[in-house]
Amino acid sequence: MKLAAFALLASLLAAPVAAQSFRDRLPEDEVLYFLLPDRFENGDTANDRGGLNGDRLATGFDPAAKGFYHGGDLKGLIRRLDYVEALGATAIWVGPIFRNKPVQGPKGHESAGYHGYWVTDFTRVDPHFGTDADFRALVDAAHARGIKVYMDIIANHTADVIQYRECGNCGYRSRAEFPYARKGGLAGEAINDGFAGDGVQTPENFARLTRPDYAYTPFVPAGEKDAKVPAWLNDPIYYHNRGNSTFAGESSTMGDFAGLDDVMTEHPRVIAGMIEIFGKWVDRGIDGFRIDTARHVNPEFWQAFVPAIEARAKARGIPNFHIFGEVADPDTSALARHTRVDRLPTVLDFAFARAVNAVSAGEAGTDRLAAVFAADSLYEGGEATARRLPTFIGNHDQGRAALFIRRANPQASPSELLARTRLAHAMLLLLRGVPTIYSGDEQGFIGDGGDQDAREDMFASKVAVYNDNSLLGTDRANAVSNFNLDHPLFREIATLAKLRRAHPALTRGRQITRFAGDKPGLFAVSRFDPVDGREVLIGFNSSARPWTGNVEVDAGSAAFTALAGSCPATATAPGSITLSVPAFGYAVCAAGKPQ
């Protein structure tokens, strides 16, 4: 890495406020950096095969195939903490690191658990990523820099181990057609005498659920009898066993997620077991949980799980433990419902992502953003909760912001695509919420789609469909290591992260919309310092043409300083400022003390 570049970024990122413990920072103070360990950096080639022998179907390792392990690990992440810190990230969201089933899938369509979501052992680090000691070293090294570590966890499902006697790829069987009280359907043998259904979530009731063959006849193959840890997870009675989810109706919380064993999270034993599993990871000093597939779990589970984990964190001296669920829905009312009904503290803001990508691509007017923020009051806790929602513009499932922008503008020049992507990142870093950077976005990665096509390696890739990609803002390719501190998007994000951290209005500040329209153009908000009330006006121009006009501000905001872009020195009149923003540009204007 270039020493001059590091020195420059170190000066940019110098803490603007008095030193404080990283534990004191509120969730909204963070800038998150999300990565999949397998695709980030290979620090130890000795663990590439996870201690297993054989070909890729035995070890899961094939660095030339996008659906298999590539060799990234925890030692590699530790080695790149300088890079993460230089970007301005204050917390790392690490993809699941639990031991996974190495390979699964039908013959000819196998893939590996490189992503971490096919868990067999919830208590240990997967050997492909290193050891428990490596994870401890990561947490200690990050904390020494004031960087928090968030874990990606799964309570909804495990790896695909349980099979059904009746079929392979089994369709969902409902409670109405296949009740708990009959074996294999309404006319079947009477079973589970006295069980009052999964809605009565008491140990006494679930003690009467003794047979899991109400819908299908589940069994565990002989070679996998003890595949899961803790041991209680090997018993089919703790799973729904109703076949594959259609992701609608009751199957959304009771069906197998694409064949993965769906845990019966209504069961008191499961609730207690999951609290204990993940509570022990809290004991290791981590700072937050991202919860995978949270909407596919019944609300009562989260109502018990969240307060237990928060209490455990506080007891360990972690007062601001950040919990956010994955609710993959761009509808703000659906997102908010999971904070009110499930009592999840926060959820990933899919509505924000959809709106920013549409606006920055020029597909929608800026009123699309205004509509998202107008719904902030729907969340439990209202606008205060909205400020803690992790926001993002690309991820490992759906794809990257640059991809969505390019799809909407297939004839655009590379310079226009870069400018629009810069604008999207400015929105991410300056608007309310907790900005989450997906690794590779800061290096101009575009990708070819979602899922495996959005999971390119940061280290030199051997995957042909990655290496033929063009990148924004650089002549480099995925075939070489991409940790370039001079990349224009890296520098933009680092500068914005520094600006955000320097001004409490941009982290904890109340936000109100000042200007929006039904076509590409200006979107403007004011954010207010939570202590002294100073206003910071932020304007974004999503149009290919410069924008000039008048924007409302507080009447007491008379003099302005440009924190980014160009700002007038004074208000045009009490309550109004004349703002000029270049095409795909933005401006951040800080007012003096209110008069």
Q: Is 261 a catalytic residue?
A: no
Which residue has tokens 């996974």? 100
Q: Where are the alpha helices (DSSP H) in 208-258?
A: 251-254
Nearest residue to 515 via CA among 565, 561, 556, 576: 576
* Cα(196)–Cα(214) distance, integer angstroms: 14
Residues 6+ apart with CB under 8 A from 265: 155, 156, 253, 271, 274, 297, 298, 301
Q: Where are the alpha helices (DSSP H) in 389-486?
A: 401-408, 414-430, 464-467
Nearest residue to 342 via CA among 394, 398, 295: 295
Q: Are strands 288-291 and 322-325 parallel, antiparallel or unpaired?
A: parallel
Which among 38, 41, 213, 292 is annotated as catalytic?
Answer: 292
Q: Are strands 576-581 and 535-541 parallel, antiparallel or unpaired?
A: unpaired
Which among 326, 456, 529, 554 is annotated as catalytic?
Answer: 326
Residues 6+ apart with CB under 8 A from 437: 31, 32, 33, 34, 87, 89, 425, 428, 493
* β-strand partners of 194: none
Pair 90, 24: CB distance under 8 Å: no
Nearest residue to 217 via CA among 185, 252, 177: 185
* Cα(384)–Cα(508) distance, integer angstroms: 9
Pair 184, 217: CB distance under 8 Å: yes
Strand 510-515: give its sheet, edge to edge.
Answer: 510-515, 522-528, 535-541, 586-591, 560-564
Angle, helices 414-430/488-502, rounded to nearest 10 degrees:
20
Nearest residue to 525 via CA among 390, 431, 386: 431
Q: Is 380 a catalytic residue?
A: no
Q: How far is CA 433 from the centre of its chain?
A: 13
Angle, helices 299-315/268-282, rounded to nearest 10 degrees:
30
Residues 6+ apart with CB under 8 A from 62: 56, 68, 69, 112
Nearest residue to 257 via CA among 227, 310, 295: 295
* Cα(306)–Cα(165) distance, integer angstroms: 36
* Cα(214)–Cα(236) distance, integer angstroms: 12
Point out the residues that are catalytic: 292, 326
